[in-house]
Structure 1
Amino acid sequence: MASSTPSPLLKQPVKLACVQLATGPDKAANLSRAADKVREAASSGAKIVVLPECFNSPYGCAHFPQYAEPLLPSPPSPEQSPSFHALSAMARDNGVYLIGGSIPELYTAPSTAANGKEEEETKTYFNTSLIFSPSGSLLATHRKVHLFDIDIPGGITFKESDVLSPGNKLTVVDLPEYGRISVAICYDVRFPELAMIAARKGCFALVYPGAFNLTTGPLHWRLLGQARAVDNQVYVALCSPARDMSADYHAWGHSMVVDPMAKVLVEAEETETIVTADLDGDMIEAARKGIPLRDQRRFDVYPDVSQGKARYEE
C-alpha cells in the first residue's frame, strides 16, 4: 500500500545566505564586490546564495538604460553582458546555487513596417534575475512581473513603467539536491497569488531580491515576508541592497529569512552584511501538520489559483 505521507519539499537541510551588498555607480567594482561577498557566504557553508535587486548598478529609472545588458540570445558574450558571466563564475567558483539578484536587461527587436521593410530597432528594458547552478550554468531567468509604480503623498513617488516593461511568467527553479524554489523580484512580493501558485507547485522557499525604500520598508518589508511565509507555510528570503544615503534611492536594507511559521530567523540592519539561515524540511512539514491548511482549503467556495492558466517556467 502506498504511503500517504507527502514527500519532503526540501530533500535535505541547506544553508541559505542573503548578501546585503553595498553598490555604487562603478559596475565593474560592483561585480568585484559581489564576487568577494559570494565567496565569503560560501565559505560560511551556504549552498544557496542570494544577491539583491539591481546589485550591479544604482537603482532608479534614470540608471536602468545606462547599465542595461542584453541577455538574449543566451548565452550573451562577455562584452555584451559582463554581469551574466560574472554571476556564472561566482556560482561555479564557489560551488553554489546563485540567485543573482537582478540586473537591468536590454532587449532589442527589429520593428517591421506594414510594407515589410525593417524600421529602427525597438529597445525594451526589464528588471531581470538570473539563477545559476554550482557548475555555472544558467538555470532560469525571471523578469519582474509587477512594476513598482506607486505614489504615496508625503512619502515616495516612483514609476518603473516609465522605463521598464513587465515580465509575463512565474519562475520555479529546480535545485536537484534540495527541491524547488521560486524567484520573484521586490514589488512581486505584494501579490500573494504569485506566491500561492509557486508554493502549490512544490517550492520549499520563495526568494525575493528587493529594494524597498525608507517609506515602504519600515511599513511592509517584514510584514510581507512573514505574510508570504504564513500563507504558504514555506521559507521566505528577502535580500536588499545596503543603504546608501548619498545615492538617489535609499534602500531599506533589513535582508531577512522567515521560517514556515512566520518566525524571522535572521534579519540584517541597514549596512553591508551577510545573513544566513539553516533551512530544514522538517520545519515545513511540522508547520503543515500543526496547522493543516493544505487539507482545509475550500476550493468548492473559492478557486485554486494554481490550477488556472498561470504562465510559469520550471
Structure 2
Amino acid sequence: MPRVALYQARSGIDPAANTAALVAAVATATAGGAAMLFTPELSGLLDANRERARGHVVAEADDRTLAAVREAAAKQGIWISLGSLALQAGAGRFANRGFVIDPSGEIRGRYDKIHLFDVDLPTGERWRESAAYRPGEAVTLVPGTPVGALGLTICYDLRFPALFARLAEAGADTIVIPAAFTVPTGKAHWHILLRARAIEAGLFVVAAAQGGHHEDGRRTYGHSLVVDPWGETLLDMGEGDTPHLAFAEIDLARIAEVRGRVPALAHRRPIPAI
C-alpha cells in the first residue's frame, strides 16, 4: 500500500527560499517512507504583483526550482507531483504548469491549467488569472506512478467535473488537485467539491494546498486533503501559517471495491442535446 506525503506550503515572493523549502520537503517525505510527494499550486513563486513576479518567471528549461526539485527527486529516489510553477509561455504570457517527476529525476508528465480563475468575491478580492496566464489545452494522465495512473488538474479546475470525468474514463486511479484556494471560497466549497469529485469518479483525490498569510498579502485556505473513492477524508492538514508535511496511505484496491458497490462510471451514457 503506497504511502504518500503532502507538503502544505506558504510560498512567497522569493523563488530561492521557496525552492529551498521544497528540497527540504523532499528529504523529509523520503525519510518518512513516502513513495511520492505532492506539493501545491505555484510552489516556486506566489506573488499577486505581476510586474514584480515577471522578473522571476522564466522558460521551463531555465527554471531553477524545477531543476532543483528534479535533482532532489533523483537524490532521494522519490516520485514528486510538483503542483505547479509559473513559467513563460510566449507572447508575454505565463503558463501555470504542473509536473510529475520520477525517482530518476525525469519529467513523466506536464499539465497547463485549463480553467483560469477570474472572479470578484464579496470580500472585495478580485482575481484575473487570465490577465497574465495562457490556458492549457490538453488533458494529462501519467501511468505507472505509486498511486496508479495519475490525472493532473490544478486548483480552479476543481469546479469543472467534465475534466474529472474525462480522466476517470481514461483510466485514472488518482487525480491530483494542487491549489492556492482563497479563504472565502475554501470555507464554502473546498471540502464539498473535493469529496464530490472523488465520489463521482470513484477514485482517490490528492490535494496539496497553500495555507496561511503570504508575503504578497493574500491568505490561502490550507486544508490539504486526501479523499478516497467513497468520499471519506483520509487526511486533512488544517489551516495555519506554518508549512508542514503529513502522510497518508493509498489503498488502490479500494477503487475496485467502491466501483463494484456503485458502478456509476460504467453506467455513464451520452447526454442528449436539448
TM-score w.r.t. structure 2 length? Answer: 0.93
Deviation by residue 1:193-215 (Cα, 9 ceiling, x = unmatched): 11111011111100011000111
- The residue matched to 1:146 in structure 2 has which SS? coil
**How far apart in 2 are the matches of 1:154 and 1:27?**
29
Deviation by residue 1:147-203 (Cα, 9 ceiling, x = unmatched): 011112335321101111111111111125653101111001111011111011111
Q: Which ranges of 4 or more aligned residues in structure 1 deviate by more than 3 Å?
A: none
Contact 1:16 1:277 in 2 (8 A): yes
TM-score w.r.t. structure 1 length? Answer: 0.81
Contact 1:257 1:265 in 2 (8 A): yes
Aligned match of 1:309 = none
The residue identity in structure 1 corresponding to 2:254 is M
Decide which of 76, 84, 89 is 1:107's aligned counterpart: 89
**How far apart in 2 are the matches of 1:81 and 1:245?**
22
The residue identity in structure 1 corresponding to 2:123 is G
Deviation by residue 1:219-247 (Cα, 9 ceiling, x = unmatched): 11111110110000100011111312554
**How far apart in 1 are the matches of 2:199 and 2:246?**
21
Aligned match of 1:229 = 198
Kindly indicate whether residue 60 of structure 2 is the aligned counterpart of residue 91 of structure 1: no
Aligned-pair identity in percent equals: 28
**How far apart in 2 are the matches of 1:220 and 1:155?**
18
Larger helix share, 1 or 2: 2
Decide which of 50, 54, 71 is 1:65's aligned counterpart: 54
**How far apart in 1 are the matches of 2:48 and 2:69?**
22
The residue identity in structure 1 corresponding to 2:16 is A
- The residue matched to 2:29 in structure 1 has which SS? helix
Deviation by residue 1:254-284 (Cα, 9 ceiling, x = unmatched): 0010000001101011232212211112211
After superposition, the Cα gap between the structure-2 partners of 1:302 and 1:260, relative to the gap in structure 1 and judged at 3 Å, is farther
Kindly indicate whether residue 121 of structure 2 is the aligned counterpart of residue 141 of structure 1: no
Contact 2:13 2:215 in 1 (8 A): no
Q: Which runs of 5+ in 2 are unaligned?
A: none
After superposition, the Cα gap between the structure-2 partners of 1:170 and 1:64, relative to the gap in structure 1 and judged at 3 Å, is farther
After superposition, the Cα gap between the structure-2 partners of 1:292 and 1:51, relative to the gap in structure 1 and judged at 3 Å, is same
- The residue matched to 2:93 in structure 1 has which SS? strand
1:284-295 correspondence runs (5 A) = 284-295=255-266
Decide which of 3, 27, 30 is 1:15's aligned counterpart: 3
Aligned match of 1:306 = none
**Paired residues, what number?**
270
Q: Answer with 138-147 or 244-253: which moved more.
A: 244-253
1:1-314 correspondence runs (5 A) = 13-60=1-48, 62=50, 63-71=52-60, 76=61, 80-108=62-90, 122-175=91-144, 179-244=148-213, 247-271=216-240, 272-299=243-270, 301-302=271-272
- The residue matched to 1:60 in structure 2 has which SS? coil
Q: Answer with 174-183 or 140-149: which moved more.
A: 174-183
What is the CA-CA distance between 1:16 and the residue it aligns to?
1.8
Contact 1:233 1:261 in 2 (8 A): yes
- The residue matched to 2:92 in structure 1 has which SS? strand
